[in-house]
Amino acid sequence: MSTESDQSKQDISRAGPLPRYSINQYVKHAGSIKQINEWLLEDYRKQLNAHQCQSREKDRLLKEKTQQLTEKETQLSLAKQELSQLKDVSLVQFSLNLLSALLSGLGINFVTSTPSLEAGWMMIGAAVLIQCISFIMLYLARSRKYD
């Protein structure tokens, strides 16, 4: 920012200070003085116009960057929300997998024991069903993420 203000000061100082004229000089050289003043005025207008163009360009860039920042913040917010949902699904899926492993282990233990129990087959069936539910949950969570 300081370099921009230094640049504008250099542009103004390049033209030099405005010349001072006495009343006699105004009377004797009115046409020349008017021409010099018009030239200086035109030069200042060109500089002002150039600075206004630069200012408009910087404003446009600022608006563009602000819009990009807003879009990125929105994307970040959506990504955080998706991550939170996936963490929740992951925790439920982990719990279901753990329950399924316990049920299948106990079911196999009951089925392979000397007096075979029907409850073992029921536990194994429940474990398979819970595992299927867990896989379906994972599939639905992933497909919802890509929609």
User: Can you spell out the DSSP letters for 104-140?
Assistant: HHHHHHHHHSSS--HHHHHHHHHHHHHHHHHHHHHHH
Total of domains in the chain: 1
Q: How confident is the model at residue 52 (pLDDT cuts 50, 70, 90)?
A: very high
Q: Is the confidence at residue 74, as pLDDT, over 90?
A: yes
For residue 99, count other CB atoms closer than 10 A to its CB: 15
* pLDDT tens digits along 4-33: 555 555 554 555 666 777 777 777 777 887
Q: Which domain holds residue 10?
A: 2-146
Q: How confident is the model at residue 1 (pLDDT cuts 50, 70, 90)?
A: very low
Supply the pLDDT for residue 54.
95
What's the whole-model pTM score?
Answer: 0.48
